[in-house]
């Protein structure tokens, strides 16, 4: 099911990307193709798997982190947010999207987070 803010790469004969801005009772949706509307929900990554509040929280976190120019600092800051948020199971989706964004930065910067929290029972086990 589509959620408000979900990315629509293209729909029907329309070739511009857009986002769902309204869900109607008849099962149809309104898609807005304004680039600023797309940017509102998908500034850093395709966040279609998140609900509207989660999209906003994800973007707010990364807005603060991406003010820095050093990718290694960004990687470490994202790790800090992941470690904070994963304590609450309600943040599971946001944590996964932050991990994905961090993975992107790790590949781009060729650097790893300096420190991270891990379950002690998983130490030494191969994945």
28/76 same-domain check: no
**Is 88 a member of any domain?**
yes
**Is 125 a member of any domain?**
no
Predicted confidence (pLDDT) at residue 63 exceeds the cutoff of 90? yes
27/75 same-domain check: no
Predicted confidence (pLDDT) at residue 87 exceeds the cutoff of 60? yes
**Is 31 a member of any domain?**
yes
38/56 same-domain check: no
**Is 119 a member of any domain?**
no
Report pLDDT digits (tens) over 12-35. Answer: 677 788 999 999 999 999 999 899
67/19 same-domain check: no
- How many domains is the chain partitioned into structurally? 2
21/67 same-domain check: no
- Cβ proximity of 37 and 19 under 8 Å: yes
Q: How far apart are the first and last CA of the chain?
A: 33
82/35 same-domain check: no
Per-residue model confidence (pLDDT) at position 108: 87
Q: What is the DSSP letter of 14?
A: B
- Cβ proximity of 119 and 80 under 8 Å: no
- Residue 90, φ and ψ in degrees, nearest 5: -70, -15
- Which conformational region is residue 31 in: left (phi greater than 0), alpha (psi within -120 to 50 degrees), or beta? beta
Predicted confidence (pLDDT) at residue 127 exceeds the cutoff of 60? no
**Is 10 a member of any domain?**
yes
**Is 116 a member of any domain?**
no
Per-residue model confidence (pLDDT) at position 121: 75
């Amino acid at each position: 099911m589509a959620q408000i803010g979900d990315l629509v790469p293209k729909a029907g004969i329309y070739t511009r990307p857009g986002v769902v801005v309204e869900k109607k009772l008849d099962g149809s949706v309104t898609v807005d193709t304004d680039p600023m509307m797309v940017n509102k929900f998908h500034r850093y990554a395709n966040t279609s798997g998140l609900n509207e509040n989660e999209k906003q929280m994800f973007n707010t976190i990364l807005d603060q982190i991406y003010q820095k120019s050093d990718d290694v600092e960004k990687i470490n800051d994202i790790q800090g947010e992941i470690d904070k948020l994963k304590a609450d199971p309600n943040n599971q989706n946001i944590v996964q999207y932050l991990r994905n964004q961090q993975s992107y930065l790790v590949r781009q910067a060729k650097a790893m987070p300096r420190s991270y929290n891990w379950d002690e029972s998983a130490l030494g086990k191969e994945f």
